[in-house]
Amino acid sequence: MPLPEQIHPALWRATQLARGSARVLPTGHDALARQLPDGGWPIGGLTELLLPHAGSGELTLLAPALADAPDTRPIALVHPPLTPHIAAWRQARLAPERLLWIAPPKATDAPWAAEQILRHASCAALLCWLPQARPEILRRLHLAAQASDTLFFVLRPAQAARAASPAPLRLALTPAPGGSPSISSSGAARPARPPCSFPCPLRQPRSPPLRRMSMRLWIALFLHQLPLDSVLAGWADTGRCCAVVEHERLIALSPAARQAGLRPGQRRASAQALAPQAELFARDRAAEILRLQEAALALLQYTPQLALREPDALLLDVGASLRLFGGPRALARRVRATLATLCLHGRLGMAPTAQGAWLLARGAAPAALRLSSLARRLDALPVGLLPEAQAQAAWLEGLGCECLAQLRALPRAGLQRRASPDLLMALDRAYGQTAEAHAWFIAAPRFEARLELADYAEHAQALLGAAARLTEQLSGWLHGGRLAVRSITLRLEHERGRRARPPSCLTVTMAEPAWHSRHLEVLLRERLERLELPEPVIAMALSADQTQQADSASQTLFPDPASQAADHARLLDLLAARLGPQAVRHAAACADHRPEQANQWQPVHQPAPRHCPAGPVLERPFWLLEPARALPEQNHRPVYQGQPLRLLRGPERIESGWWDDTPAQRDYFVAEDQAGARYWLYRERGQRWFLHGLYG
């Protein structure tokens, strides 16, 4: 009989209350494991460590679990109080290549960075230092940790023990003689069990069968408001009363204009007399062609077989894309979302033939996934939807032929003599009785898209919508050419004229090649939200600087290391976009005996060294002070925070750097204070004492 949790994760039995059920990681300390509720560090929740000060033994406590864990994903250190010492992590049997140091420019960005790391679930462990954190922030992080498999610790000052916390496990650490911390547990209560009620998963709607996923299917987009979208993007969001005029007659109207009494075909003078507040724009056919090509470029991310049907329609052969995007309905939703991002309004038709899908879109008819249902849908459409029938409109009306079903019922030989042969060909193409030929859309070999703004943008937040339009086009261009981009540049153009200033440029570099529109949009949004514009922006341009062939990754049943690496690369891009490239660093140790020279960290977007120099395994502190802090001396003993320190080991001579401007001649010692905290000191020849590291 299967266990309840094997039937559904929300099921549990009362007997489970008597035993731990959380996922845990062995601590590496037998005495500590006997005290913890489940015998190890909990995975899938927040664990809080309360410290009197940095270097209280927190990393000495956690290092064995991190080193012995089978998970080899990166280890993230968010907002640590001091510089992590690479040599100490190597001494603790942790590869420096796994370390990720996040140093936000503002302390308020640390919770955001921690939440993103938890949500991406690309790190094995996350250590986040939060000197000040409100309960709602901790609760949010705890919820994110529950949905992740990342080992998560929040390190806070000891004074935070008086504040409420959602952490199921809180440990207070105090230094103890010998280097290992003394631990007291508080709030280690078991998490509450979920209620018994749950939605039954057995009646969830099933996906379409696989045989449907490979059928012939076309999507047609009829951009019925293209004249208005071309002259005034975003008109629907503002509710403006506007219309487009050609040859002194209205051809496209907004809903507000229709409510004011305006109608298509109305003369300009009558419209102005009826609704003086209406904004009338002249039709711009060149802008319409550009907008149609913009939509075609963005929609290449769904299929490479795309054709323009000028002046206002697009045809997409999506039969081979259905399985990739989850079926016809899911694909239609994504196509509509792309149109909305581009500020385009259109009707979508789906049918096994391109001509049939186009007629369904023009007639706002439901989708038809089979030829049999397509015939029923088309039969009900008016004859006037066929452009080839316009020349015989009066004759067909005299015969009482109003819909396509009545047109098909006419004798074919007589219809061919009286009407144009193109009419019968159009009918046959719509009903799938003859083959269709299309000229596929071909994108330019280099991507550079420019967008004129309707109004002056004085704040960077006003540019987010336009940036999304550009990234949709870039993603389509990349998909169409099977390319990925490593670097993009967004150029912000300011007012022209005598006081014109050069454009402002934002360059975004990715840790790994990217091609998804959502990822590119998020990176640009994070950069723009923190940008202060020197002058109002009137136009934007996006270009792809570095491209390469995209890897054709396929979905697998089991976790794929390549996909995990891609998720981690997207996380690094997101962190660097918001915090700055210098705030996201990885280890780049150098072969130098001087600790400050050997302990090098560089931005993750710079190539990492092939391997960190190993060297001899020596006892080193987890934290380095940069620069070293001078200490007073009392009775020939160094003094730190008013307490004389006791020397435990040393001296260790480090003499190096005679070839450059920073030579070092130092004797290093390990010292301990009265509470048991340990420090790494050095003394220059005949000079004073310096504090260079803390044993965490």
User: Domains, the chain, ranges and CATH?
Assistant: 4-185 (3.40.50.300), 218-431 (no CATH), 448-552 (3.30.1490.100), 614-694 (no CATH)
Q: Mean pLDDT across the stretch 598-623? A: 76
The 10s digit of each residue's pLDDT in 228-285 is 999 988 888 888 899 999 999 999 999 999 999 999 999 999 999 999 999 999 999 9
How many other β-carbons are positioned within 10 Å of the β-carbon of residue 142?
A: 22
Does the pLDDT at position 331 exceed 60?
Answer: yes
User: What's the Rg (C-alpha) of the chain?
Assistant: 34
- Whether this prediction's pTM lies above 0.85 is answered by no
The pLDDT score that the predictor gives to residue 338 is: 96
Name residue 559's amino acid.
P
Check residues 390 and 327 and name the one with the higher pLDDT: 327
The 10s digit of each residue's pLDDT in 479-504 is 999 999 999 999 999 987 767 788 99
Which tokens is 283 given? 């039709």
Mean pLDDT across the chain, nearest whole number? Answer: 85
The pLDDT score that the predictor gives to residue 332 is: 95
The 10s digit of each residue's pLDDT in 10-40 is 554 544 444 444 688 998 888 888 888 888 8
Residue 562 — φ and ψ, nearest 5°?
-65, -40
DSSP string, 346-357: -EEEEESSHHHH
**Residue (of 253, 310, 238) closest to 283 by Cα position:** 253
**Residue (of 518, 528, 510) closest to 575 by Cα position:** 510
Q: Mean pLDDT across the stretch 624-636? A: 90
The pLDDT score that the predictor gives to residue 414 is: 83
Does the pLDDT at position 555 exceed 50?
Answer: no
Q: Mean pLDDT across the stretch 674-694? A: 88
Please name the residue ranges forming H helices in 498-583: 517-529, 561-579
Which tokens is 583 given? 């705030």
Cα–Cα distance list, 455 to 238, 459, 466, 509, 578 (Å)? 13, 12, 12, 29, 26
Alpha carbons 628 and 641: distance in angstroms, whole number: 15
Check residues 400 and 360 and name the one with the higher pLDDT: 360
Residue with tokens 């007399």: 273
Residue 137: partners with Cβ closer than 8 Å, 6 or more residues away:
111, 130
How many other β-carbons are positioned within 10 Å of the β-carbon of residue 539?
A: 16
Q: Mean pLDDT across the stretch 291-315? A: 95
615 band by pLDDT with thresholds 50, 70 and 90: low
Alpha carbons 71 and 559: distance in angstroms, whole number: 13
The pLDDT score that the predictor gives to residue 236 is: 84
Does the pLDDT at position 340 exceed 80?
Answer: yes
Please name the residue ranges forming H helices in 92-241: 110-120, 135-146, 210-213, 226-231, 235-238
The pLDDT score that the predictor gives to residue 184 is: 67
The pLDDT score that the predictor gives to residue 593 is: 84
Alpha carbons 264 and 244: distance in angstroms, whole number: 9
